[in-house]
Structure 1
Amino acid sequence: MDARLNYFGSPTAGKAIKHVMSAGRTLKESSLPAATQELVALRVSQINGCAACVDMHTKEAAAAGETAVRLHLVAVWREAAVFTAAERAALEFAEEATRVADGAGGVGDAVWARAAEHYDEEQLTALALHISFMNMANRLNIIARQPAGAYEPGQFH
């Protein structure tokens, strides 16, 4: 299976994608915990059905020391006892921010308040931007039909 598009192969798109990738690297350097970033990236990608991003973020999280049990339970995090209260708040925030078209109207006040109990303003900003970035990356990969399975940890760093 080959991707429909090679964003890096287009002069205009290639320049834009390089800026997008730079923004993603900047977000990784934020004070939002790296494990939280990978769990959120994985959950957003699962919701959106982005196989390439699920592949990437599962492998990146595992390479960073995340356990297989936690990675397998991200899809059912509400029923899993392996996530911290802060991680659960971030995953809930990610779900509401990703499912804006489902009629929920975005991130509700109660969800925001739960996230704010665990993250300061800098981290909340990073979380919101990270979720938005992942939604964009998912859509780019879905449009291109980017295949999953070949990603190697660190490939885009």
Structure 2
Amino acid sequence: MEARLDLFANPVAGKILKHFTAAGRAAKEAGLPDSTRELVLLRASQINGCGFCVDMHTKEAAAAGETAQRLHLVAAWREATVFTDAERAALELTEHGTRIADGAGGVPDEVWANAAKHYDENMLTALVASIAVINAFNRINVIVQQPAGWYQPGQFA
């Protein structure tokens, strides 16, 4: 499979994507644990059916020390016993923030309050920004049919 557009060679795409990437890096500096951030990026990518991002964030999380068991259970996090309460709150916020058009009416107050119990304002900002940025990346990759499987950890660092 070949992508409809080569986003990595197109100068216009490069200008646009560097800003998305910069936003993601800024969010990373807010104190949110890297493991939580990778779980959030992976879960949103699973929901959106973005094979490229699922591949990327699974590999990045594994390279950062995430266990195979936890990575395999992200899609079923509600039934899994391997996630902390804080991670569960982040994953729930991710699902609601990703599925805003599914008739759920956005993020319910109780979901936000649960996340706020575990994360300070800077970390909540990082969560919200990470969810928004990964959703944008997912949509770009799905639209252009970016193939999955070739990404190597640290490739875009």
TM-score (norm 1): 0.97
RMSD: 0.9
Q: In the alignment, what sits opposite 1:28?
A: 28
Q: In the alignment, what sits opposite 1:81?
A: 81
Deviation track 1:108-146 (CA, whole Å, cap 9, x = no partner) reads: 000001000100111111100100001000001101111
> What is the 5 A alignment of 1:115-134?
115-134=115-134
Identity in percent: 67
Q: In the alignment, what sits opposite 1:103?
A: 103
Offset at 1:20? Answer: 1.8
Query: Are the counterparts in 1 of residues 50 and 141 from structure 2 also a CA contact under 8 Å?
Result: yes
Q: In the alignment, what sits opposite 1:91?
A: 91
How far apart, CA to CA, are the structure 1 residues paired with 2:21 and 2:118?
27
How far apart, CA to CA, are the structure 2 residues paired with 1:45 and 1:14?
21
- The structure in which a higher percent of residues are helix is 1
Which piece of structure 1 moves more, 93-102 or 10-19? Answer: 10-19
TM-score (norm 2): 0.97
Q: In the alignment, what sits opposite 2:54?
A: 54
Could you list the runs of 5+ residues in structure 2 that have no partner in the other structure?
none
Deviation track 1:63-108 (CA, whole Å, cap 9, x = no partner) reads: 0000000000000000000000000000000000000011111110
Aligned-partner SS, 1:65: coil
Query: Are the counterparts in 2 of residues 8 and 17 from structure 1 also a CA contact under 8 Å?
Result: no
The runs of at least 4 aligned residues of structure 1 exceeding 4 Å deviation read: none
Query: Are the counterparts in 1 of residues 27 and 125 from structure 2 also a CA contact under 8 Å?
Result: no
Deviation track 1:1-40 (CA, whole Å, cap 9, x = no partner) reads: 1111112333322211222222222222221110000000
Q: Which residue type is aligned with residue 86 of structure 2?
A: A
- Give the total of aligned pairs: 157
Offset at 1:156? Answer: 0.8
